[in-house]
Structure 1
Amino acid sequence: MSEPPGVTVTFAEAPKTDDPPQPLAAQRVLPLRRPGRWIVTAVVLIVVAQFVHGLVTNPFYQWDRWSYWFLRPTILDGLLITLQVTVYSAVLGLAGGVVLALARLSKSPVLRAVSWTYVWVLRSIPLIVVLIFLYNFSALYQTLSVGIPFGPAFFSFDESRLATDMVVAVVGLSLNEAAYAAEVVRGGILSVDQGQHEAAAALGLPKGYQFRRIVFPQALRSIVPNYVNQLIGLIKGTSLVFYVSLLDLFGSAQTMGSTYPGDIVPLLLVVTVWYLILTSVVSVIQFYVERHYARGATRGLPPTPLQKLRTRLTDLGARVRREAAV
C-alpha cells in the first residue's frame, strides 16, 4: 500500500506487561446489570407488603369473625349447592355447545340459521334476565305436554312441580353457557389444520370417527383454555341463582348478613376466599389437561410446578457452589 509523499504512518504498540494471560476458565463473565428491573421489583414488593399489612392489621375486616364463619354448616351447605349447580351446568352447557357448534358447521342452512340465532339471542340477554324469566315460566305455560306436534298429547305434567329452584338455576345457566361454549368449540374445530380432515377422509374413516378420534382431540388444545375461562365465569355466575330463591354460597352469606349485619364484611371475605379456592382448583386442573393434550404438539411437555421448583433449586445450588469456589 503506497502512501502520499510527506505522510508518515505509525502504529500504536500494545502495552507491554509482565503478567501472564489468564486462562479462559479463570475469567468470569459478568451478567448485564439492569437497575431499572431491580427498582421496579423493589417498588412492587413495597406496595404488596403494604397491602398485606393493611389487610392483616385493619380491624375493619374482623378476621376472628371470618374464621368463625368460614366452615359454618350454613356456608358449607351453600358451597355444596354452588358446586352442584356448577358441575351440572358445565356438563350440560358443554354438551349443548358441541351440538350447536356442529350445527353451525353443518351444510344444512336450517341448522346453521337456528344455531346462529340461538347463540345470538342467548349472548345478547343478561343471565339474570334468563334466570328470572325461567323462574316465572309457569305464569306463561302452566302445563307442559309431550305428544304429536300439532296433534294429541300423550301425557302432560305441571310445570311448577317440575321447575324446582335447582332445575331453574341449572337450566338457565346451561342455556347461557351453551351459547358461549358453542363459539369456543367452533373456534377450536376450525383451528385444526385442514390437512387433518383431508388425511382422515383419504383413509376412508367415517365422519363420526374422524371427529371423535382425530379432529376433536386436536381441537381440545384450543378449546380447553378458552372453555376454562368460561367455566371460571360460570362459577362466579352461580352467585346469581340467589335471585331465584336458591341459597348457594353467595346466597347463604347474604342471608347470614341480613341476620347479622355486623358481620357483612367477614361474610363477604368468606365468599371471596371460597371462590378463590374453587377457581384455583379449576386452574390447576386446566394446567394438567392442557399438558395432556400438548403431547405430540410440542417437542417436550411443559414442566409441572414441582419440576420448575426442583430446577430452580438445582440452579441455585450450582450457583452457590460456583460463588463459593471463586
Structure 2
Amino acid sequence: MTGSLTESPVRGKPSGGPRETSGPPAGAERVLPVRRPGRWVATLLVLVLVSQATHGLVTNPFYQWDRFAYWFTRPVILDGLLITLQVTAYSAVLGLLGGILLALGRQSAGPVLRSVSWAYIWLFRSVPLIVVLLFLYNFSALYPSLSLGVPFGPAFVTFDESRLATDMAVAVAGLSLCEAAYAAEVVRAGLLSVDQGQHEAAAALGLPRRYQFARIVFPQALRAIVPSYVNQLIGLVKATSLVFYVSLLDLFGSVQSLGSTYPGDVVPLLLVATAWYVVLTSVVSVVQFYVERYYARGALRTLPPTPLQKTRTGLRELRARFRKETAA
C-alpha cells in the first residue's frame, strides 16, 4: 500500500518513519570553507592603497588642514552654502513639476501637446546649461520688457524685465528649464513602468482620469522615479556651481572669490567646497534610501533594513559567534 510503513531489518523500527539522529559520528571530519587566496591578495592590495592615500592626504603640508578648518565654517562660506541650498530647492521643485507636465504632454493624445513637449525636451537636453544661464543673464538686452495681450495686438500687462531678472531668478530659471527636460524623461519612464493592467482596472472602476493618475498610477510609478530623479537631484546640487557665471555667489562662487583674494589658500578653499558638496550629496542619498523604502512597502515582502537595523543585526551575530566559540 502506498505510503505505508514497512518493517526494517531491525525489529520494531519502521523504515519509512523519521529516524533519530544522534549527531555526527565520532570520527567525522570537520568541513572547512574553500580557501580563496585571490580575495585575500586583492583585499590586502586595496588596504595598502587606501592607507597610502590616507597617509598622503593627512601628512602632506600642501593641503593646509589648519586653513581648511579656519575656512570651513566661516560666515562667507555658510552664506554661499545657503544660496546653494535655495537654488537647489527651488530648481528641484520647479523642475519636477515641469517634468511631470512635459511627461504627460509626451503621452497626450493631442499632436500639438505631444510635439511641443518633445521639442522642448530635445532642445534643452541639447544645449549646455552654461549657455542657457548666460543667455538668460543677457535676456534683457534682447527683450527689455515683457507683455501679455492679444498676439499682434494691444498689450494688457507689461513687465520690466530688468527688475524681474535678478541673479537668483536667472539662476533658478535656467536650472529649472534644463532640469524639467531631464525630469520629464525620468517621470515618463516611471509611468511606463506601471503595468497596463493597472490602467485598465482603474478605468473599469469608472474613476476619473485625474483620480486614476493621482491615486493609482503615480504612486506606483514613484518606485521607479525616485532612484533616477534623486540621482538627477545630486547632479543638480553640483550644477549649481555654474551660477557663479551669472554673478550669484553660491558655495563655489564664494570659494572662487576668496581664492582670488587669498591666493595662498586656494587648495584649502577647494577642499572646503568639496567637503560641503560631499555632505549635501550624502544627505540627499540618505533621504533617497528612506523614500525608496517607504514606496517599496507594497512591492517587497521584506523591506530593506535601515542602517540602525543592520548594526543591531551585526552585533547580534557577533555576540552569537563569540558565545559559540567560547563554548567550543
TM-score, normalization: structure 2?
A: 0.91
> Pick from 114, 131, 134: which aligns with 2:133?
131
**Shift of the alpha carbon at 1:91?**
0.1
The match for 2:320 is 318
Match of 1:64 in 2: 66
Pick from 208, 211, 216: which aligns with 1:209?
211
* Correspondence for 2:182: 180
Separation (CA, whole Å) in 2 of partners of 1:132 and 1:323: 67
Amino acid at match of 2:187: V
Equivalent pairs counted in the alignment come to 306
String of CA shifts for 1:198-246, please: whole Å, max 9, x gaps: 1111111110001001100000000000001110000000000000000
Q: Which shifted more, 26-35 or 286-295?
A: 26-35
What amino acid is aligned across from residue 302 of structure 1 in structure 2? Answer: P
Superposed displacement of residue 23, structure 1? 3.2
1:235-293 Cα distance to aligned partner (Å, 9 max, x none): 00000000000000000000000000000000000000000000000000000000000
- Give distance in 2, aligned partners of 1:29 and 1:244: 68
Per the alignment, residue 289 of structure 1 pairs with 291
Q: 2:257 aligns with which of 236, 248, 255?
A: 255
The residue identity in structure 1 corresponding to 2:24 is: L
Residue 114 of structure 1 is matched in structure 2 by 116
* Cα deviation, residue 42, structure 1: 1.2
Once residues 298 and 282 of structure 1 are traced to their aligned partners in structure 2, the CA distance between those partners, rounded to angstroms, is 23
Please name the residue that 2:311 is paired with.
309
Alpha-carbon separation, structure 1, partners of 2:275 and 2:220: 35
5+ residue gaps in structure 2? 1-21
SS of alignment partner, residue 302 of structure 1 = coil
Q: CA RMSD in A?
A: 1.4
2:106 corresponds in structure 1 to 104
In the alignment, the residues of structure 2 paired with residue 25 and residue 213 of structure 1 have an alpha-carbon distance, to the nearest angstrom, of 62
Give SS of 2:152's match: coil
Instruction: Tell me the alpha carbon deviations over residues 99-150 of structure 1, each in whole angstroms, 9 at most, x when there is no partner.
Output: 0000000101111100000000000000000000000000100011122233
Task: Give the aligned partner of residue 226 of structure 1.
Answer: 228
**Residue 267 of structure 2: aligned partner:** 265
Amino acid aligned to 2:155: A
Name the structure 2 match of 1:24.
Answer: 24
Encode CA deviations 1:5-25: one digit per residue, 9 max, x unaligned.
xxxxxxxxxxxxxxxxx9329
- 2:301 aligned to 299, 302, 314, which one? 299
Displacement after TM superposition at 1:29 (Å): 3.6
32-41 or 241-250, which deviates more:
32-41
Distance 1:25 1:229, change over 3 A: farther
Partner of 1:47: 49
SS across alignment from 1:315: helix
Query: How much has 1:154 moved relative to structure 2?
Result: 1.2
Aligned to 2:149: 147
Give 3-state SS (helix, strand or coil) of 2:156's partner: strand
2:12 maps to which residue?
A: none
Helix, strand or coil: the match of 1:24? coil
Residues 126 and 322 of structure 1: CA distance in aligned 2, closer, same or farther (over 3 Å): same
Q: Distance in 2 between matches of 1:107 and 1:25?
A: 74
Question: Residue 197 of structure 1 aligns with which residue?
Answer: 199
Match of residue 81 from structure 1? 83
Structure 2 Cα separation of the partners of residues 157 and 196 of structure 1: 46
1:37 pairs with 2:39: yes
What is residue 237 of structure 1 aligned with on the other side? 239
Quote how far apart the aligned CAs of 1:36 are: 1.4
Sort the Cα spacing of 1:49 and 1:107 in 2 relative to 1 into closer, same or farther, 3 A.
same
Percent of paired sites with the same residue: 76
TM-score when normalising by structure 1: 0.92
- Give 3-state SS (helix, strand or coil) of 1:145's partner: strand
Instruction: For residue 186 of structure 1, give the secondary structure of its aligned residue in structure 2.
Output: helix
Partners of 2:23 and 2:126 in 1: CA distance: 72
Q: Amino acid of the residue matched to residue 23 of structure 1? A: G
Structure 2 CA distance, aligned partners of 1:110 and 1:25? Answer: 80
Q: Give the letter aligned to residue 178 of structure 2.
A: N
SS at match of 1:156: strand
